Amino acid sequence: MRRPLIVLIAATLLAAVPVLGGPIMKSQVSGTANWVVHADCEQFNKSRLGQLIRAELSSLGIEEKLQDFAKVFSFHPLDDVRDVTIYGQGQDREKAVVLIKGKFDKEKLLALIRSNPEHQESEYGSIVIHRWRNEEKVPSQDAKEQMMYGCFYRDDLIVIGAGLPAVKHALDVLNGSTASAVGGVFDSAIQQRQGVFFMVAANNLAQTVSDQQKAAVLKQANQLALAVGEDEKNVYVNVNLKASSQEAAEYIRRILDGILAYLALAAKEQPKLAALVENIKLSCAQNTVQVYFKSDPEPILQFLKEQSKRKEQDKTKN
């Protein structure tokens, strides 16, 4: 079986995109991290949005493929993965780690990992860390960038990263021998709202986001707090951008006002988009800008399906 760990990571991150399990535990996040992403699979699966998406996956035949995946890898990427937490420092991929909690057949997964032609094992205390080559990387890339490291911290908790020092550091955080994020910089950024199934918190955004023009708003903020969830059967998205001053916050608000005006203009030809744009509320208080969106999940899913159909039609034309 080739590329076992790449498939494992891809399947887990598939679950992590719309979701990640249980509320975030800051005690499992490094105190040196300046960004963290967390998703709650269990919360997502019981939400209306989650149920609608699962029904859509079934109608598209994707659910059957997930069941086939479960037969091979001994876990279902949406049902058996309870939560995923990803954290790191800036844009350095070797300082980022993924913590995956779920129900796994440890021995079966380890057998798949060991089938990688460049698999190696090393010990860190009582933990065995596995190294393998990421075969999805293009051959021209540096060999160092193609290596991945991972281990079972517990039978239900996997740690994966692109850098061995980062994985070892993550293990130190988990066993309490080095400082975690408890009482640290994320306290004001992490939103413990009702029904949250996906959240992002970040500090020092200028060092973290890319240089692309699309990231201009984020580069003006010092702190980002984002929460996606469901409250009384409505999906909500709450984003707080904290700037260094009230003037900087007003600048961010003006940029966002422009983006909303552009969306409103584009929405004139797309009724489904128009209905969603109307539900976006923008406010600014002192040095914090808040963007809040709330909607029934059905229109959101219908809009996404419509956009997907348009992309397929554009591909056909080209």
In the chain, where are the structural domains located? 4-174, 196-317
Q: What is the reported pLDDT for 166?
A: 97
Residue 72 three-state SS? helix
| Mean pLDDT to the nearest integer, 193-219 | 75
Cα angle 299-301-302, degrees, rounded to a multiple of 5: 60
Cα(274)–Cα(227) distance, rounded to whole angstroms? 23
Q: What is the pLDDT of residues 39-67, one digit of tens each?
A: 898 889 889 999 998 888 888 888 888 88
Highest mean pLDDT range out of 32-36, 146-150, 165-169, 202-206?
A: 165-169
* Residues in CB range of 181: below 8 A, 6 or more apart: 26, 27, 29, 30, 31, 33, 36
Q: What is the reported pLDDT for 77?
A: 80
Q: What is the pLDDT of residues 147-192, one digit of tens each?
A: 999 999 999 999 999 999 999 999 999 999 999 988 776 666 676 6
Residue with token string 């399906």: 305
Q: What is the reported pLDDT for 316?
A: 73
Cα(97)–Cα(42) distance, rounded to whole angstroms? 22
Kindly report the pTM of this predicted structure.
Answer: 0.84
